[in-house]
Structure 1
Amino acid sequence: MGSTQPILIGLSGPSCSGKNKASSILEEYGFYCIDADAVSRDVFAEHENEIFNLFQAEAEKRGIDLKTEKGIDKKAFALLVFSDEDLLKKHEDFILPIIEEKIWEEIKKAFAERPERPILLNAPTLHKTSLIKKCRFILYIDAPFILRLIRAKKRDRLPFKNIRLRFSKQKKFFSQYFFLNADTIVVKNSWSTASLKRKLLQEIKKRGF
């Protein structure tokens, strides 16, 4: 008998901990992987004018120029919203419901194609959506702070103070899953992809996948 509900598994963790690498490992293993960051980028592009209008006044007040010839300056926007919890909440209140709706559309499509295939939700802010309640368990990828810092510097090319500010907003990340009573499995990721793969497959095999 086929499954009547999608088999959802969450993937989360702080910035630059290796979530995308973990996702690609599980995709090779047979999971259908949904990248919430990719969905988020699409939603941001679709609603760029609305987002600009929401934050233009605050940006001007702080001397931040959000507009470029190509649209919103993403680095300037990140600097603005990550500098103030109220502004971050304002952004999330606007964008997360739209992202969640898009993800549900993709879940339904993947489930219709192959109901027995587990679906991995690679979503850093999974705990802020109703999706978490539908997940059988959460794979929480963590990595040493210094390694995350090096990865972020290489990827984003931002000053260390900006990266540290972003990281500081994620200090209570894990505790939010704990207090939601989510079945959360911490997977430690160091330098080795082989080690991460071994740990991931060990954990999902324990769960019958």
Structure 2
Amino acid sequence: KNIVLNATVLYKIPAMMKLVDLVLFVDAPAVVRYFRARKRDGMKPSQIADRFRRQKNLFVKYKESHADILRVWNTGSRRGLEKKLDKLAQRGRLGINVWIKKEHCGY
């Protein structure tokens, strides 16, 4: 059975990482993430900067876990991200049906 977790810091739990078949790492440029956080969370710029510092090198940390990683860039709309993930699922890369909760994609 396929399970999808929204787990930003899963790499910190090696026992769980051993159970993972694939990490779907959804990324976006910092400027896009900044404006999404302002709109979605109403955060102050200093709070966003703190969050970005905590998330620095997150992709590298997942690479160091030696898990299979599929990095997807989320630079456009929610629908655009859904289309990218649908294509990956159709190619058999994901092995899941794609459904995205609004709050999980930054909109």
Same fold (TM over 0.5): yes
5+ residue gaps, structure 2:
96-107
Q: C-alpha displacement at 1:152, in angstroms?
A: 1.0
Query: TM-score normalized by structure 2?
Result: 0.77
Aligned length: 93
Q: Contact conserved, 2:88 with 2:94, CA < 8 A, in 1?
A: no
How many percent of aligned residue pairs carry the same amino acid? 35
Shift of 1:175: 0.3
Quote the residue 1:184 is aligned against: 69
C-alpha distance 138-169 of structure 1, shift in aligned 2 (>3 A): same
Rg (Cα) greater in structure: 1
Q: With structure 1 as the length reference, what TM-score do the two structures score?
A: 0.41
After TM superposition, the structure 1 = structure 2 runs for residues 75-154 of structure 1, keeping only pairs within 5 Å, are 117-129=1-13, 130-154=15-39
Paired residue type of 2:9: T
Is structure 2 residue 50 aligned with structure 1 residue 165?
yes
Which aligned pairs between 1:10-21 and structure 2 lie closer than 5 A? none
Distance 2:77 2:12 in 1: 30
SS in structure 1 of the partner of residue 5 of structure 2 = strand
Which structure carries more helix by proportion? 1
Which consecutive residues of structure 1, in runs of 5 or more, have no partner in the other structure?
1-116
SS in 1 for 2:36: helix
CA deviation digits over 1:65-106, x for unaligned, max 9? Answer: xxxxxxxxxxxxxxxxxxxxxxxxxxxxxxxxxxxxxxxxxx
**Letter in structure 2 aligned against 1:166:** R
Q: 1:157 to 1:208 in 2, by over 3 A?
A: closer
> What SS does the aligned partner of 2:8 have?
coil
Greater fraction strand: 1
